[in-house]
Structure formats: structure tokens, C-alpha cells
Structure 1
């Protein structure tokens, strides 16, 4: 049953990814603008322009271009960036770790904040404190991540400059890392000075992304806990003298976390895509920041590679979340 479900999901994922590739490829070709026009030097001859178009395969028909691109993808060749003049796969491998670390850090912070507030709100249910929690959570829901980013820049970067405003590390420290996963590497190698440096650059973009997601987690988990707290087994445990906090943590939380986990997984995929604006504000060198430059420069190979990378991450995360929900729910696991 598990293998059949996994095989079906992988098949659907491959079909979805192919469809995304087709749509993006065609839309980029029919959209106004010529990427070659942004590359040619003043005084270039028509022969120079034609040679450059031929070099990037833009002189063929759209079906032929797509066939050549798909053939390259299957061989592990995502093409060469028009604006940066580097292999697209190398650029993705260079920038993707930064975005993954940022999104993962934001997810963990959102889970801690959202889960904590949901538990507090559940303990304060039917009191004035619950109204305060709900009002504060509604405020968090109403403010998008880029507004939080700008507010954090003003408060912690301008008025009280206690945190760095841009980058992942100080420029002179970039060569001190053997991998692109700076945060993970600093922890594994026990270089806590580097960890503090990387973490200080992560604080503001992480909070900007985490606060709206924390509000979503709070709302869903608090609602799930409210429904679970009136179940018979919880009432029986209360009659046995369990404290309210112990009831929530030991009895209610494990049964309420399923819907929250499913929603958090979906929101995490949106979180990765949402890093685009936040990375731009903080000049954070991730794939989101690179995506904006690729669109501005009409860098077709890079845009196509970025879309495929985002699509693949979304699909993999959703599959993992579905499997985790099934693993936590015995009725789904044996159904």
C-alpha cells in the first residue's frame, strides 16, 4: 500500500513538473522582449546578433527549442545563463543552500512561535486573555512578510543598528566555509563564532518570513486543540486530576497536530517562494534574489532552471508532508 501510494505520487509529480516546464517555456518564448537585445554591444552587426541567437538556440522554432532543452535537462544540462554567462545548474547549487537555510530557519521559528501561542490561547480559552491572543494573531495575519522586513530594517538596522542589514556573512568571511550551507557547517564544525555571524545575518529575514506563517499555525492549531479538548478521553483525563498544560501537551496536542502539519507543509512551499521579496530587501544571496535579476534581464535559461527547481521543491515537500500525515494518522496508514 505504501509503495503503491508513493509510486502514484511520484508519477503525478513527474507529470506536474513536465507540465510546469512546458507552460513556462512557451510563455517565456511568446512574451514580448528579446533577451539577445540586452546582450549585444553597441555597433553589433546583424551577423553578430544572428550568431548569438544561434549560440543560445533561439533561432529554432519553439517545439525544436523545447525538445533541445528537454534533452539537455534529462542529461543534467540546464543550459547557460544569458546574463551571468555561467552554467545554470552551478548557479542553482551555489544559491539554493542559502534559500533553504533561510526558509528552514523561518519554518522552525514559526513553529515555535505559532505552537507556543496556540497552546497559551488554548489554556486561556473562554477568558479575556484569549481575545487578546486572537487579536494579536489577527494583526500578524494582516501584515505580509515584506512589510515586516521593511519594519525590521528600520528598527533593528537604522534606528537601533544592532544587526547587519545585508548578506549572509561578512565579505571577508565567505572563504572560511567549505560548503554553501554556512549555518549547518558552522554548527557541525563547532565554530560558534561563525555560527553567531551567520545567525546575526539571518535574524531579520527569518523573522520577516516567520511571523506571518506563525500566525497561520496559531490559528489552525488553536482551532484543532479546541476541538480536541472536548473529546471524551480528554475529559476523562481532566477528571483524573491532570493539569491543563499536561492535558494539552500529553493528550490533545498529538491528535491536533495532523491538520497543522499538513497546512504547515503547504505553507512551507509558499514560504520558499516568498523569499523572493525578502531576499531582495536584505540583499540575501539566495535563489529568490537571483530570480528577480533573471526576470529583469530576461535570462530564459536561468528563469527556466529556477522555475523547475522551485517546482521540484514544492512537489518533494508536499510528498513528504503527505507521508508524514499518513504516518501520524493510524486510520490513514491502514486505510
Structure 2
């Protein structure tokens, strides 16, 4: 579950960050309007519905990705921990890495798209506010291109509010794996939680709830510490 959530988070940051930078650079144009429309559509569709759409498109109509399980059953798995993707990279078993990513891609994308839309909207708005500040105007006077101004001057300050949001949304992302894992028959805490409910396994349900609660607390604590570390106004009182 953590591997799936982390991969989905990285995808959301890549998609949302890229579209936010493009939208801020092309502010006031049809490109920004198109990004806003796409973000609104991505945000209005829940992750489990994205999962169904991806299964239909890339598992049934154009079957290019695996739609069930975490890894192909015929493969020999030398793993010691449940972090299969991390272990396959460390062991240089890139054949297993490819297979794991093939199974992980669609559930990760389903989880990532709504979060990417949130990141895109917030980061783009923060960038547009920062781009009007004096130090950014001075960077333009020095001859920096608009892309250089955004990446070198504006992004590091505009990203701080987004960092807090990402931490909060990451906890919701982990919670969202419950339905998505079931949808893709993906091995994880979410699938286990549904099986526990069906089987009325109360101790297992309590254990899973405690694990999710602990993850939420640790993630939010980590985000608060990172925010204090990255924000000089908090560091210097």
C-alpha cells in the first residue's frame, strides 16, 4: 500500500507540477484555460471511477496493461520484505521491476489524477501571485526568460503552501487505496481491510485502523517538520 501510494504521489507531483508551471507561464491564454478545464474534470471524477475507466480503456479495449494482481504469478520472487518494487531495484532485478510497474501503473494513475488536479490548481495560483512580486520583476529585468524566472526564482517560494496540501492529501491518498486495491485485486492494506469486513474479523479491522491512524499522524508530523525546515520565517521566529 505504501509503495502504491508513493508511486501515485510522485505521479501526481510530476503531472500537477508540470501543468502548474505551464499554466503560470501561459497565464491569460487558452493554454491556461485548457489546463483549468482538464484539472476540473480530473478533480470531479473520484479515483475508483478513474480506475474503472482505465480498466475499460487499457485492460479491455486496448489490453496493454495488467488489470489484476501485484505481480505475475509465474515469476520467481526473491523478496524478503513486502516492498517489492524497492527490493527489485536494489537487487538489480529490472525484469521484476518492469512487471511490478506494469501491474502498478493503472491503480497508481487512478489515485494520482485527482491529487494532480489539486496540486496543479494550488501551485499555479501560488506561482501567479509570486510572479508579481518585486524580486521576480527584478529577475526579468536581469534578462531571465519566463521559464527561468519561474523555475529559479518563483517556484521555491510558491511551493510552500502546496507542500502542506500534499501532506494532507497524501493521507487521503492512502485511504483511497482501499477501493482502488479492491478494484485491481492489488495486494495491500486496502484489500485486506475489505476482506476483514466481509469476514467480520474484528481484531484485524482494529489493527488496520490503527495502522492507518499511525500513518496519518506520522505523515502530518513529517510535513509540519519539513515546512518549518523550508520556511525561513518559521526557523527564525
The alignment's TM-score, normalised by the length of structure 2, stands at: 0.98
User: Paired residue for 1:233?
Assistant: 135
For residues 249-260 of structure 1, the aligned pairs below 5 Å read 249-260=151-162
How far residue 174 of structure 1 moved from its aligned partner, in angstroms, is 5.7
Does residue 1:263 correspond to 2:142, yes or no?
no
Residue correspondence of structure 1 range 201-280 to structure 2 within 5 A: 201-280=103-182
Deviation of residue 173 (structure 1)?
2.4
**1:115 equivalenced with 2:9 (yes/no):** no
Query: 1:318 maps to what in 2?
Result: 220
1:285 alignment counterpart: 187
Counterpart selection for 1:196 from 98, 108, 123: 98
Shift of 1:172: 2.5
Distance 1:131 1:313 in 2: 37
Deviation at 1:179, TM superposition (A): 2.2
Matches within 5 A, 1:178-189: 178-189=80-91
Q: How many residues align?
A: 237
**Aligned with 1:150 (options 34, 41, 52):** 52
Q: Which runs of structure 2 are paired with 1:78-93 in the superposition (5 Å)?
A: none
Structure 2 residue 86 is the aligned partner of structure 1 residue 173: no
Please, what TM-score do these two structures have when normalized by structure 1?
0.70
Q: Could you tell me how far apart the structure 2 residues matched to 1:248 and 1:230 are?
A: 11
Once structures 1 and 2 are overlaid, which stretch shifts more, 125-134 or 107-116? 125-134
Unaligned runs of 5+ in 1: 1-98
User: In 2, distance between residues paired with 1:305 and 1:178?
Assistant: 23
